[in-house]
Structure 1
Amino acid sequence: MLVYALCATVCAVGLILLLALLGWWIYIRISPFHVTVSRIPGPRFYLPLLGNTLEFVGGLDHVLQTFQETWTERYGEIYRVFLGSHCYVGISSPDLLEAILSSHKVIDKGVSYDTILPWLGQGLLISSGDLWRSRRKLLTPAFHFSILKNYFEVFNEQSRILSGIFGEMCESFPGGRGEMDVYPYITKCSLDIICEASMGTRINAQTQDSDYVRAVRRIGQVIMEKVLQPWMGNPWIFSLSALGREHNRLLKTLHGFTEDVIRERRRALAEKEYVAEESGTGIRNRLPLLDLLLRASDDGGTLSDQDIRNEIDTFMFEGHDTTTSMMGWFLYCIAANPKCQERACTELNSVFGESERDCTHDDIPNLKYLECCIKETLRLYPSVPAFERDAREDIQIGKYTIPAGCTLGCFAFATHRNPKVFPDPLVFRPERFYPDEAIGRHPYAYVPFSAGPRNCIGQRFAMLEGKVVLSTLLRRFKFEMCSAKPPDPSNQLILKSLTGMNLIVSRR
């Protein structure tokens, strides 16, 4: 009887599963949503609840490769896959990207941004609708060129510190030439720059370690570890896990530091009037972003302390990680292309001669080839390899209808390597960005800072910072490839290398 009951139970469960699969099979063939998305190229088969997730199970490098290389090559410049039960539409065509990024309707970020919501809150990166529009309007004047040129003192000071650290490292190498992972040092330099620019506060990340610096470096890794473990999407499971407890400790450190700075800055401004020259924009020169937010709040704005914290945390994240990625990959690219490195150095010599003077705002227009090298680096290794938009209503993209509820993945990494736009796309060739070579190129073929109404508000700041720091390093040091494994690109919110950025560094 027991055996009979057991067999009956197994048969009943099997029948239920079979009926469930049959019901699901019928549903996806008659559901208007599934019928519509099935017209978009993509895998013919996907599992209930899991979708196509089994195809990219693996490490962080596997996620980037699957989405922006394997599936793009297999299905084309627009395709759809199911991540669990959620439909994701990947796009790497300039024409199709323009329809999305230029839209003033499709401006809400995709569901993946929810992973950084506990850290950044409804700051400029994640907010949508009227909230985003009001914040964008408020913050845009802080990035006017007349304001940015006043940050050159910060750029140069931190560049000199970084050069001093590299110099000490070179002196410790036999013969003054040795291998080092340059990425952590650039990260700390970027942290010092953005912290002073956004908060008016020095953290001395390059010379001292702190809980805040460690938390900033670790939080992105924790978030990606969570993403790669789908069961961690359950808040209860995540909160009980070791990863979830670490996540909460890091957030406490990050938010606590920012809140302390806000309180101290507000107290200091209340005790004495901040005196600085007004620029033509109506914003005081060299005014830290935090002071701008505090002033807006004190002038009758609706910004709470948490609103201000959200914006500062957003700029700390975007302003150090993306710029670090750009500068790290730049050093790798010129190490791998020594002729380009020497040409950039020749240009620097023509501007600075033998002096070690600071880079000024007036020098920037003369660094044309260096700028082309930076742009070519961002073509091959965009700091943000993909960004998402949420389809809140049915939209037409090319010949396909994207139903409401889908996430649109805008693939900068794949778009920049599209051979239809950039011949020999894997070759590092800065001349692509000479004005005469860029004539006729689709305006959405190159989108390292996104494009359209939600483009990166800090792109001018990032480019100026990159030019100052990199010109300072190139004038003093030579970078060469080493025998270690080359960098392994991976999507860790930002494009980073899983194997570090190991280069041979020596003084010039």
Structure 2
Amino acid sequence: METFESLFYNNVKLFALILVLFSAGVLIYNWRRRWLYYYASKIPGPFALPLLGSFHLVSEGPHGVHKFLKNLFTDYPSTLKVWLGPELYVSTTEPEYLKLLLTRFLDKGNFYHLMTGYFQRALAAAPVKLWKKNRKNINPTFNITLINSFVDIFSKHAKVFTEKFKDGCGKETDDIYPSVWECTLDAGCETLADVSPSIIKTQQYLSGVFRIEEILMKRFFHPLLHFDIFWNLSPLKKELNKLWKQNCSCMQKMIDLMEVPKTTQDNDNEDVSTKKRFLTHLIDLNHKQEVPHDYVLEESQIMFFVGTETSAVVLSSTLLVLGMYPDLQKKIDEELYSIFGDSDRDPSLEDVNQMQYLERVIKETMRLLPPIPFVMRSVDENVHLGPYVFPKDARVIIPIAMVHRRPEFWPDPEKFDPDRFLPEEAEKRPVCSYIPFSYGVRNCIGYKYGLLSMKIILSTFLRSYRIKSSNYKSIQDMDLFIHVVAKPKNGYKIVIEKKQK
């Protein structure tokens, strides 16, 4: 039998061995990252604690991200760094640097990798090699000719949306955003899939989407949940899996409906544009065994809820802005009257193309309130940017919201001025000083689709109503939180007045 002294001595030796091995592991880990630390030391940024980095600066989580980015670029130069845990994040608002980063580096990095298991194949998060293949597959479904064929569908759903408010004029709405999102989702069902929106329980679906985004952001801002061992034990993962399965069942229902065999007559009468619609095209690729079924589900989830949600955010934000600045509405009214007169006819493509001032208002809204306030990239080699080196394995934050407020390119940047987007003004600014849809080959595939839908929905609504006020006096009053997309914490409340014919 071992004596107490021998047990104690053996345990001390074991502890010492573990300590030596751990210390050796830490030394090897840091030695391999020595150039990361070296180049990072040359870039300005906030104080970082060992292991935790500057996570204390984002303790508010999704509700403090916008303020965090704003404070960073107020306190530090246009190129900076921040440590979040052991990960180095570098960022810049210099357009020439952004152009290089967004053109050369297409991998989206750790933020999107945390979504693995949900969006691992979809355009938003796929590894570069897979993304290239999928983007090539999907490009035909967003060509301009096909998008322009959706004018009548967008108009139909714009009228349904407009009709909802005929009995609520003069009263503050609870929050216009859910109704706007329902409109963009319903239009998406017909344009992207050629199915009736009635097959989706819209409110249940949208609340599920909102919670999925909330959980994903909670994971990102909780350092321990970055590790799969802790994430797999978290009740958040169980909830996310349940919600994901629930929303996938909606997509599957839509796919099943579209796969019902058509009669010969139906096939003969089927428009070419219908065959090339987003989900129809993906189902066809799946039948040809060019893409797996799980990919069809993942890509559909992203396109149907993130795609329609970003449009809904911009539309809701624009209505808020019109409530803050009545002079904008007057100019929009004049433009719409010059196009339609007293007619209540549906807009044509030619009409939409004449809505130049309305388009400038939408673009200025996206400048100050971009629905996606930042995107990420990962660099796989050292990148020399002026006096700095963004080191290999660093994560890059592209701070869209901060780029859009650079006074060098946007004089009096907090002022809402649609005329910044007059052609002669736009020509003065460098490439990548305005990037609401990102930039380069990995930009937003649906930006033309979104802009067309927004112009039709807004023009239809504003021909019937006037926005009298909103729950904000200025854009600076809006406190934003970020659940994948950025929204104001206090919602989108406006007062609507019926126009007199």
Q: Deviations over 1:400-421 (max 9, x none)?
A: 2212111111111000010010
Match of 1:295 in 2: 284
Match of 1:110 in 2: 109
CA contact (8 A) 2:35 2:391 kept: no
Which of 30, 35, 47 is 1:32 aligned to? 35
One-letter code aligned to 1:215: G
Match of 1:378 in 2: 366
Once structures 1 and 2 are overlaid, which stretch shifts more, 301-310 or 74-83? Answer: 301-310
Q: Give the TM-score taking structure 2 as reference length.
A: 0.88
One-letter code aligned to 2:40: V
Which of 410, 417, 433 is 1:445 aligned to? 433
Residues 269 and 411 of structure 1, relative CA distance in 2, 3 Å threshold: farther
Which of 282, 293, 308 is 1:305 aligned to? 293
CA contact (8 A) 1:386 1:409 kept: yes
Residues 259 and 395 of structure 1, relative CA distance in 2, 3 Å threshold: same
Distance 1:130 1:238 in 2: 27
Question: Can you give the 5+ residue segments of structure 1 that lack an aligned partner in the other structure?
Answer: 1-8, 171-175
CA contact (8 A) 1:192 1:205 kept: no
Shift of residue 301 of structure 1?
4.7
Match of 2:99 in 1: 98
Distance 2:458 2:203 in 1: 26
Once structures 1 and 2 are overlaid, which stretch shifts more, 232-241 or 473-482? Answer: 232-241
Distance 2:305 2:171 in 1: 33
Distance 1:90 1:480 in 2: 40
Write the mapping of 1:414-429 to structure 2, written as runs, cut at 5 A: 414-429=402-417
Match of 2:125 in 1: 126
Distance 1:471 1:345 in 2: 9
Shift of residue 453 of structure 1?
1.0
Shift of residue 326 of structure 1?
0.9
Match of 2:167 in 1: 168
Report the aligned-residue RMSD.
2.8
One-letter code aligned to 1:33: L
Q: Note if 1:433 corresponds to 2:421.
A: yes
Give the secondary structure class of the aligned counterpart of 1:504.
strand
Match of 1:318 in 2: 306
Q: Note if 1:55 corresponds to 2:60.
A: no
Distance 1:70 1:440 in 2: 28
One-letter code aligned to 2:98: L
Q: Give the TM-score taking structure 1 as reference length.
A: 0.87
Shift of residue 315 of structure 1?
0.7
Residues 210 and 74 of structure 1, relative CA distance in 2, 3 Å threshold: closer
Shift of residue 302 of structure 1?
1.9
CA contact (8 A) 1:180 1:505 kept: no
Q: Deviations over 1:48-75 (max 9, x none)?
A: 21001112211533211112x1111211
Distance 1:92 1:182 in 2: 33
Distance 2:290 2:374 in 1: 32
Give the secondary structure class of the aligned counterpart of 1:453.
coil
Q: Note if 1:75 corresponds to 2:73.
A: no
Distance 2:382 2:403 in 1: 24
One-letter code aligned to 2:273: R
Q: Note if 1:66 corresponds to 2:57.
A: no
Match of 1:6 in 2: none
Which of 478, 489, 494 is 1:498 aligned to? 489
Shift of residue 458 of structure 1?
0.4
CA contact (8 A) 2:320 2:470 kept: no
Give the secondary structure class of the aligned counterpart of 1:121.
coil
Once structures 1 and 2 are overlaid, which stretch shifts more, 483-492 or 319-328? Answer: 483-492
Residues 482 and 444 of structure 1, relative CA distance in 2, 3 Å threshold: closer
Quote the sequence identity (%). 27
Q: Deviations over 1:222-277 (max 9, x none)?
A: 22233333333344544444433321210111122222322332333598873457
Shift of residue 495 of structure 1?
1.3
Residues 28 and 92 of structure 1, relative CA distance in 2, 3 Å threshold: farther
Residues 322 and 209 of structure 1, relative CA distance in 2, 3 Å threshold: closer
Write the mapping of 1:152-191 to structure 2, written as runs, cut at 5 A: 152-170=151-169, 176-191=170-185
Write the mapping of 1:351-362 to structure 2, written as runs, cut at 5 A: 351-362=339-350
Match of 1:3 in 2: none
Residues 205 and 436 of structure 1, relative CA distance in 2, 3 Å threshold: farther
Give the secondary structure class of the aligned counterpart of 2:415.
coil
Distance 1:263 1:270 in 2: 16
Give the secondary structure class of the aligned counterpart of 2:402.
helix
Shift of residue 90 of structure 1?
1.5
Give the secondary structure class of the aligned counterpart of 2:494.
strand
Distance 1:297 1:265 in 2: 13
